[in-house]
Amino acid sequence: MTTLSDRELLSREAANQLLLAIAVSQDRKAFAELFNFVAPRIKAFMMRSGSTPELAEEIAQEAMLLVWRKASYFDPARAGAMTWIFTIARNLRIDIQRKAKSSNQAVGEDPDIVQVMEPTPEDILFVRVDEERVRAALQGLSSEQEAIIRLSFFRDRPHSEIARELDLPLGTVKSRIRRALGKLRDMLEEKL
């Protein structure tokens, strides 16, 4: 396997192959290559999401440990390696936040008091870049798919309401949303 420099991108197929090599034969070289590429990206993503550098590092380390342990569960037909790995990291962050919230409540802190941090210029830049990527990907959808995604996610309409509004069966709405999200995921993953 080739070694990546920090500036090179790992293609979707290459990431899938590395993860499959880990799943099938617990290939340590494949894991090291995947780790060196993905862990810093997880940490950066977590920091952009508001985690401290220490917590972001911890999440990245724990996520990659889970990737090693659970690689056999990876199915490239369901999701790309990067999506699968970032889902693991995101779920870890959610678990950590839940535990912190429940321990704060147990100590007696008021759960309604939330400390709001001002976004840094870097945070604002990352959000704008992400928004531009999502807008560009939305334009790659058919008009039908774009409309259903906008109704579901931007206008936060329930699927049943979308079905009534578009005069479609509920199952059709759900399957169109699923297909559109799959296409969006593929387009956004290609640019990771």
**101 lies in which domain range?**
12-107
pLDDT in tens, 15-73: 889 999 999 999 999 999 999 999 999 999 888 888 889 999 999 999 999 999 999 88
Q: Please state whether 119 falls in left (phi above 0), alpha (psi between -120 and 50) or beta.
A: beta
Is the confidence at residue 120, as pLDDT, over 50? yes
The answer on 134 and 67 residing in a single domain is no
27/101 same-domain check: yes
Whether the predicted pLDDT of 109 surpasses 60: no
CATH of the domain at 161: 1.10.10.10
Is residue 84 assigned to a domain? yes
In a domain, 3, yes or no: no
In a domain? residue 47: yes
The residue from 107, 141, 174 where one domain ends is 107
Residue 62 counted as domain residue = yes
Residues 98 and 27 in one domain: yes
Q: Quickly state the pLDDT bin for 121 (edges 50, 70, 90).
A: low
Q: Which residues contact 104 (CB under 8 A, 6 or more apart)?
A: 111
pLDDT (tens digit, 9 = 90+) per residue, 170-185? 999 999 999 988 888 8
What pLDDT does residue 33 have? Answer: 93
Grade residue 105 by pLDDT with cuts at 50, 70 and 90: low
In the chain the first and final C-alpha atoms are separated, in Å, by 20
| 137 plus 94 within the same structural domain | no
- Does the residue 6 lie in any domain? no
Residue 106, pLDDT score? 52
Q: Is 30 in the same domain as 91? A: yes
Residues 140-171 have pLDDT tens digits of 888 888 888 888 877 778 899 999 999 999 99
Q: 147 and 85: one domain?
A: no
Q: What total number of domains does the chain contain?
A: 2
pLDDT at residue 126 greater than cutoff 80: no
Give the pLDDT mean for 95-108.
71
In this prediction, residues 86-109 reach a mean pLDDT of: 77
Q: Give the global pTM.
A: 0.52
DSSP 26-50: --HHHHHHHHHHHHHHHHHHHHHTT
